[in-house]
Structure formats: C-alpha cells, structure tokens
Structure 1
Amino acid sequence: MNGLDLGLIGNCSIGALIDKKASIVWCCLPRFDGDPVFHSLLAGDGNPSGQGMFAIEVVDFVSSEQAYLPNTAILRTVLNGASGSIEVLDFAPRFKWRDRAFRPQMLVRRVRPLSGTPRVRIKVRPQFNYGGTTPTITFGSNHVRYVGPETTLRLTTDAPVDYVRSETAFNLDGPLNLILGPDETLSDGASETAQMFETRTHDYWRNWTHRLAVPLDWQDAVVRAAITLKLCSYEPTGAIVAAMTTSIPEAPGTQRNWDYRFCWIRDAFFVVRALNSLSAVRTMENYFGWIMNVVSNANGGHIQPVYGIGLEDRLTERVVDTLDGFKGIGPVRIGNQAYEHFQHDTYGNLVLGASQAFFDTRLFMRAGYEDFERLERVGEKAYELHDQPDAGMWELRSRARVHTSSSVMCWAACDRLGKIALYMGLTDRARFWAERAARIRQVILERAWSGKRQAFVESFEGEYLDAGVLLMGEVGIIDPLDPRFVSTVQEMEKVLGRGPFMMRYEEADDFGAPETAFNVCAFWRIDTLARMGRKDEARELFTALLAARTSLGLMSEDTDYKTGAPWGNFPQTYSMVGIINGAVRLSRPWEAAV
C-alpha cells in the first residue's frame, strides 16, 4: 500500500480516516466538506510538520493489527510495543435516541492495555483553515479546548490532562477514554459516556447489517462495502459524497487532484441502486428528498452534475498553499469546477435515482403524481440535449462532444419516465415518453457505432473507445448479446483491459493519457460479462479485483495496474458500489448452501 490503507469511521454526519498506527489523519468538521481539522494525510510525505493529526502511540512501537468489529463501523487497532500492547477502539456515535437519530460531530477513542505495561503518548494536534491556523489551547481538570477563529473543539478525557497537553509519555495501567467534539460539557463522565456510546453504536450497526439482504458469496466484502456507502451519506440532507477526501492524486505528478467531498448525481444514483439491491432503502428515501429539491430549484432549467451536500450550487475551485499534498504531491484543491459543466447524463441519472420510489411499496414515503410532473421537466431537458455536446461523464475540461454515455442516460430518463407513467396508469404520458425514448435510441445506435472500430465509441461519429459505453447493457438500451455490443466489449477488453483492471478511455485528455485504471470500469466489465453469460470469467476477474482492496476491505478511485497500489480519493463510493453489484450478480443462490 502507498499510504491509503486507512480505516473509515463515521456516523452519516462526519467521517474520519485512521491509519494503521491508530492516528486520525483526516477528519473534516462540521461536515464531510468542512475544514479538515485533522489533515496530516495531505501534509506532505511523512507529515514533516507533525501537525493535523490525533495520534495514540506506543512509545516503543513494534507492530500493529487492525480490523473492524464484525458488521460495524467501529475500528479496532492493536498496537504492540516492547513494553506491552494496547487496544484502541475508534467510532463516531450513531444510534437512535429520544426517537430520533443521534449522530453528533464527535469522535470517541477508547484505549486499554492488553499486555505488559505499555508506555503511550497522546498527540492531539488539530489545525484550522486547511492547516493555516494553529488553535489556542485552554484546559480544565478533565478537558482540553482547541480554540480556532470560528470553531472550538473540546476533548473530554479521563487521561491525565497534563500528559495530553504536553504529549508526555506515560505508563498505561488502565483504560482511558477520549471524546472529541463540540465545545459542550458532557452530562456524564468520559468513561460512562464512552461506554454507553460504544454499546449503543455497536448495537445500531449490528441491527442495520442484520437487515441487509446479502448474497451467499462474499458476504464480508458486501457488508463492508454497504457500511462504507452508508457512511458516505450525509443524513441531514440526504446527499451522498463521492469520497471522503480531496486531492488524493489519480497518479503521481499528473495534476489529477480533485475534491470529491460533494454530491454528484451520477455517483449517488449508483450508490442508491447498490444499497437498494441489499434492501437498504432508507438511503434512497433520504436521497430522493435531496434530488427533488434539486429538481424544484432548477424549475425546468439546467441541472448541474454536482452540488454541495447542503444543495450549494457554487463549488468554486481553488488551490490552497497551506498543505503540501498527499505524499507531497500537490496541488491541494478545494471545490470542484465540475459544477460549471454541462454533463447531460445527469438528467438520466437523476430520473434513475428516483425511479424506485414510485414502485417500492415498503417505503415510508411514496413518490406521487406531483413528483412525476417535476421529473417530466427533467425528461424534457434530457430529450432536448440527447444529441448535443457536453463535457461527458469523465468531466473533460477543454473539449465538448456528443458523448455516447451521456446520450444513453438521456434515453434512460425518457425510458424510465415511460415506465413510471405506465405504472401510475398515465397511458398517454407512457406512450409519449416511450416514443421519445425510441427516437433517442435510434439516434444512438446509428451515430455511436463505428464501422471502422466495430464498436460503439465514446462520441457520435467518434473513433475512440470509452468504458462508459458499457453502461449501454446495464441500463437496457441494447441486448447484451446483440452482435454490435458483443463486438464492442471484445474491443474494449483488448484495448482498455489491463488484467482484471480497466482504463477509462484510450484517447488522451486535458492532462494526457490516464496512467492508472479506474476501478468502477473494471466492475462494469464484470457486470457486462455476466450479462453476456460469461460468468466464470466474470467471477475470476471479480476475485482478482477483491484482492486489490485494502486490508480493511475498502477501495480508492484508481489502481496502479502494474503495482496494485491504490490511488485517487478514498474511499470511493463508485468502487464500493462495484463490489456490491459484482457479488449480487455473481453469487450462487442461497439454495446452493441450504
């Protein structure tokens, strides 16, 4: 691994990444896209400043072990030293309290000795303004306050406050607890609060995973992926972030360093669909509320491909000079210029993300006629734009074409609106949208096909291959066994395949030719092969991709197909979705075991 073998904890309000030595290296407050008060992940190779972290160290460190408590988002790290071993339990409280979700902006760290008389050191070094401001520190008998220009954090602990303040090594002769959160006094002591929060958080996650409809095979991988996707959902609004981080490069020195802490309508659809396949439909209900707000705000006009998790429509991109970047590889970016793009697949992904809400009778909320009317405005834009140039799903910054994948999703918007209308008994509207879908389909099959390449290509009248075209089979615009699609897949495997991995596209983009494989493309290939009846090959490739996960079962955006090293923002929801989709499609039926 190259520094991305990290554990994710969270509570659908905040999240944090923890390295193999139990150091919190990334945590943004007060929400996923907020100020990274712990940011040593982006502080340079080896974090030379030693700031922006929350570390619990064994002074004479020898080795470590790390795993999640089964079926939970509670991370357990064992640190072994010459003097003894300790256990660190990390989590963000998450449970039902007073008949509502309790998910405070709080991290809990529980430490206890396991053997010997371990000597430990606690380092709490938050910074504000992306590392630009060091806090003023005040303290009391059982707490330390870290005062910033806009935010104050309070660490409540039963560890010796003097040792915490001075980072003094001491003998750990009993358990201790550290609770970091808002500048508020706890109603109970640190030990009692941490114990209660741990018990209730553990029960919450065990109950949540208990309700998942998991496949027979690869259950551990699926459960971990599902929990990770859940942690990437921002429950107060229903938004789903693409990843927890910003500026982890897709490959060294490429300038492909982007901020993914926002809600892409495309990515969120795939997340919702994957969780729906496991019967975890609550995330879809929350997301439905978020996207219907997007639709209402657009009022029939342009819909951006990405918004802030609080529906912010301006995500101005800038570079910060206070952080050196992951392993010293800059730049570090805040915001994402993609909010300015025209990406026409957005309309189809939005309708697809909302569709199940019209059909699923289990839901607490049901989409109705007014919702359908609002989505018809989205369909009108999809029809209007299906043959117009855009930046495409890969968000090209310097050129526009009529991208096949965008047009396919415009077709999907019209197709699904027709199906929804038919289900609702709106015969005229069903016929209207079916006719529009048929027209778009005819255009795509004619203009996206290249006789020269014997494949559907990345743009109308184009000549290059693009893995996004694999979605043609997935959304149902073409039979996976259609000879043209079979030929397309064969060409892609030869040109874009890299063992079990897949490149996104073959043509150089704004930053040159991609150097690493894009993980979700490999999972699209697996899904396609399964649909074509090549399940044995698909299972072999799927097994190889699972081996590319981190030790905790997570995946980043990209993989160096030569070394297996993860690159890109982390954990990437697209990649975790692929794990679920592959397992669900390829697993043996439960009848095979029982």
Structure 2
Amino acid sequence: MLHHGSYPRRTLPLAIGEYALLGDCHTAALVGRDGTLDWLCLPRFDSPACMAALLGTSEHGHWSLCPDEPVLSSHRQYRDDTLVLETTFVTAGGEVTLVDYMPVEQEHRTLIRQIKGVKGRVRMRFTLLLRFDYGLTVPWVTSSHDGQGLRAIAGPDQVVVRSTVPLHDGPHRTIEAFFEVREGQTESFVLLHAASHCPVPTPPVDVEATLAQTEAWWRAWCAQCTYRGPWREAVMRSLIVLKALTYAPTGGIVAAPTTSLPEDPGGTRNWDYRYCWLRDASLTLAAFISCGYSSEAQAWRDWLHRSIAGEARQMQIMYGVCGERNLQEWSVGYLPGYHGARPVRVGNAASDQVEGSKNPLVLRAAL
C-alpha cells in the first residue's frame, strides 16, 4: 500500500487503520505508517502506558523515527510468517527501510528499531518522548551507568535506550538524534524496560542476532499450523495477531492491546480491552485448536482453572492476565482521548456483570 506526500510533524493520532501491531506475548505496541510509535505499555499489556499519544497528542508520549525530508512514497509489510514490520520510505535523496520488532522470550521487555539504507542517502530524525502513567509523568533522564545509552526513570519503571548514533536532549524534554543513512548503512535503536530498583540491563543487545532469533521463533510457531486451505496467508496473519495477544507467563489472552478506542467516532463507549474475557478467549481458542495449536489451549485452560478457583458463585466474565479479579474502572481525566473521544478509561467495570456465551460449547470444550 502506497502513501504519497511528506510526513508533517503531527499532534493528533493517525486513523486506526494506519497503525501496525508489534508484540512479544507480554505486551504490544502500535506504530503508525509514518514511523511514529504512539502506544506502548510496559511491562504488561495492562501496565500504564509510557507512550500514550494514541489517546491524546504527541505530548503524551511517542517515538518517531522517520526521514527528516519530504517523503515521496512509502510502503510497509510484515516479513513472511513473523511479526517483524518493514516500512520503506522513498525521498528525493534515496530510500531507507525501517525495521521494527519486539523480541520474544527475553528477560526484559525490548523494542528494537533499525534503519537500513537501500539507495542514495536520506536525512533521518529520531524523537523519543517518554511519559509514564498514561502521558502524565515526566521521567528523570540520565546517562546509563554503563555509559552506553540513556536511562529514563519514573517511580517503579526504568527505560534504557541504546543507539548506534549519538542521542541528545531536545526541546520539551525529548531525546533526539539527527543523522544521515547511506546505501548499505544500518543504524539501530534499542529500548529496554526493567524495574527502576534493578541494575541497568546488560549486556547490550546483539541486534542482528536478536532479529534472526525473533524471525526464527515466529516462523517455527507458524510452521505448526495445520491449515491447508486457499487462504493461508490471511489465516496465518490472523493467527499471528491472536498469538501476540496471549500473555506467555500465564496463558491468558487479552481481547485487545489498547484501551479507550471509541466504538463510534467521538463517542463515549470507550472501554479498556486489555483483559481476558472468558467468552472472547474461548472463540480465540477455537481458532487455535482448528489450526493445530493445542498448547495454547492447554495454557489457557490452566490459566482459567487458577483464575476461577474458589467459590463458584464468585466466577467473573473476565479477569486480568494473571487472573486478577479487581479490575476497578477509573477515568484518565488529563487525556483528551482518541480524536477527542472521552472519557479515557482504565480498568473495566464489566468484570462485575453477567454475560451469556454466544457459543457455550466452545467454553465447555476448553474446560
């Protein structure tokens, strides 16, 4: 899919269809067609976002990595049978490809972005604005103790950013870099999360090895698929997204990686879907099982048994990714919402509701 015209510096989020999903089966990120990451929660799906521009403006946290010159055209795609995203930008000066991915099975949540020069030379701009607590908290940014990057701390969280190009302080407490990429040249940026009381994650990530491991992991998982019908590409891409919405440590499956995207433009039906509905998850499991993925069903069944353990009368329609029951709902009053759709909600009061299953046989089979 092509987009023509340059990418102006923007404040409002893009149309929902302009975002692509990144994930590592712990949390997820949304990155726009223009190379700007507008949503990231660390370290879990339901953690407070440290980039929340999706629900407000760029001032609520974002990470832009794009040409610092007019873009003539662009296209993007996932590498086959992976969740590795490639976005190619063409400018008058040349062509570059942005590679975005989140490694799986890592100790620390990690997001890696690479810029690869394809032809000519392109001026690039890197802008990172971290705002913890859904866009509210400005972190304390210093050089990391190992001298190989920057460290941002706010309360219980720390984020370390390592780069192959020099980073410096920008306006409005941003982290910036301006650099040029030529044909055959690659520059890398690594963002890692850890608890703030822990040492800085070491050693530095081997980016190329991690990329190869990430691709191999997704392709090995996809190779287990037993579907042999005519729509394999679409089916496989759908299964990858569903897999990305699973929480690996427990087997829980979230309904979506986001909160407060409106059902109607500018409306008030804006709910937090970063939790596990028994009915919705059972339908996801039906898709997995029909394509040969029994281990996901086993992991979710174990999660379910732990989550509903206790008094049968206290069973809920939904739980947190680790089986949490208290999903108290509150409004983030300082966020303006996606294109003005308010309120922005965290938590979900539906956990106290009773819901009928559209397909009770699926849930019964999973049990």
Q: TM-score, normalised by structure 1?
A: 0.55
Matched, 1:330 2:342: yes
Q: Give the counterpart of 2:128 among 124, 130, 152.
A: 124
Residue equivalent to 2:189: 178
- What is the SS of the residue equivalent to 1:129? helix
Residue equivalent to 2:111: 107
Between the aligned partners of 1:356 and 1:168, the Cα distance in structure 2 is 50
What aligned pairs does 1:341-380 form with structure 2 within 5 A after superposition? 341-345=353-357, 349=360, 352-353=362-363, 355=365
The alpha-carbon deviation at position 189 of structure 1 amounts to 4.3
Q: TM-score, normalised by structure 2?
A: 0.87
Q: Is the Cα contact below 8 Å between 2:278 and 2:318 reproduced in 1? A: yes
What aligned pairs does 1:567-586 form with structure 2 within 5 A after superposition? none
1:118-143 Cα shifts (integer Å, max 9, x gaps): 10111111111111111111125421
What aligned pairs does 1:67-86 form with structure 2 within 5 A after superposition? 67-86=77-96
Q: Give the counterpart of 1:143 among 149, 153, 159.
A: 149
Between the aligned partners of 1:61 and 1:80, the Cα distance in structure 2 is 9
Q: Give the counterpart of 1:244 among 246, 253, 257.
A: 257
Flag the 1:296–1:232 CA change in 2: closer, same or farther, 3 A: same
Between the aligned partners of 1:189 and 1:182, the Cα distance in structure 2 is 13
The alpha-carbon deviation at position 102 of structure 1 amounts to 3.8
Matched, 1:229 2:242: yes
Matched, 1:37 2:41: no
Tell me, which stretches of 5 or more residues in structure 1 are unaligned? 95-100, 358-594
What aligned pairs does 1:46-65 form with structure 2 within 5 A after superposition? 47=57, 49-62=58-71, 63-65=73-75
Residue equivalent to 1:267: 280
Query: Identity over the aligned pairs, expressed in percent?
Result: 29
1:243-290 Cα shifts (integer Å, max 9, x gaps): 111111011233111110000001000000111100012211110011
Between the aligned partners of 1:93 and 1:243, the Cα distance in structure 2 is 20
Between the aligned partners of 1:247 and 1:138, the Cα distance in structure 2 is 33
Matched, 1:91 2:101: yes
Between the aligned partners of 2:98 and 2:228, the Cα distance in structure 1 is 32
Residue equivalent to 1:280: 293
What aligned pairs does 1:195-234 form with structure 2 within 5 A after superposition? 195-234=208-247
Q: Is the Cα contact below 8 Å between 1:61 and 1:79 reproduced in 2? A: no
- What is the SS of the residue equivalent to 2:133? coil
Q: Is the Cα contact below 8 Å between 2:103 and 2:210 reproduced in 1? A: yes
The alpha-carbon deviation at position 185 of structure 1 amounts to 4.5
What aligned pairs does 1:406-417 form with structure 2 within 5 A after superposition? none
Between the aligned partners of 2:192 and 2:364, the Cα distance in structure 1 is 35
- Whose strand proportion is higher, 1 or 2? 2
Number of residue pairs the alignment of both structures matches:
342
Between the aligned partners of 1:161 and 1:2, the Cα distance in structure 2 is 30
- What is the SS of the residue equivalent to 2:314? coil
Between the aligned partners of 1:221 and 1:344, the Cα distance in structure 2 is 30
- What is the SS of the residue equivalent to 2:18? coil
The alpha-carbon deviation at position 186 of structure 1 amounts to 5.3
The amino acid across from 1:134 in the alignment is V
Flag the 1:201–1:168 CA change in 2: closer, same or farther, 3 A: closer
Between the aligned partners of 1:301 and 1:356, the Cα distance in structure 2 is 20
The alpha-carbon deviation at position 114 of structure 1 amounts to 1.3
1:406-464 Cα shifts (integer Å, max 9, x gaps): xxxxxxxxxxxxxxxxxxxxxxxxxxxxxxxxxxxxxxxxxxxxxxxxxxxxxxxxxxx
Residue equivalent to 2:314: 302
The amino acid across from 1:121 in the alignment is R
Higher relative contact order (CA 8 A, sep 6+): 2
The amino acid across from 2:165 in the alignment is A
Q: Is the Cα contact below 8 Å between 1:75 and 1:91 reproduced in 2? A: yes
Between the aligned partners of 2:47 and 2:296, the Cα distance in structure 1 is 22
Between the aligned partners of 1:176 and 1:185, the Cα distance in structure 2 is 22
Residue equivalent to 2:5: none
The amino acid across from 1:128 in the alignment is F
Between the aligned partners of 2:201 and 2:318, the Cα distance in structure 1 is 38
Residue equivalent to 2:76: 66
Between the aligned partners of 1:230 and 1:3, the Cα distance in structure 2 is 20
Larger Rg: 1
Q: Is the Cα contact below 8 Å between 1:163 and 1:169 reproduced in 2? A: no
Between the aligned partners of 1:236 and 1:61, the Cα distance in structure 2 is 43
Flag the 1:234–1:103 CA change in 2: closer, same or farther, 3 A: farther
Q: Give the counterpart of 1:315 among 327, 343, 357.
A: 327
The alpha-carbon deviation at position 151 of structure 1 amounts to 0.7
- What is the SS of the residue equivalent to 1:224? helix
Q: Give the counterpart of 1:156 among 149, 155, 162.
A: 162
The alpha-carbon deviation at position 344 of structure 1 amounts to 4.2
Flag the 1:153–1:189 CA change in 2: closer, same or farther, 3 A: closer
Q: Is the Cα contact below 8 Å between 2:167 and 2:176 reproduced in 1? A: no
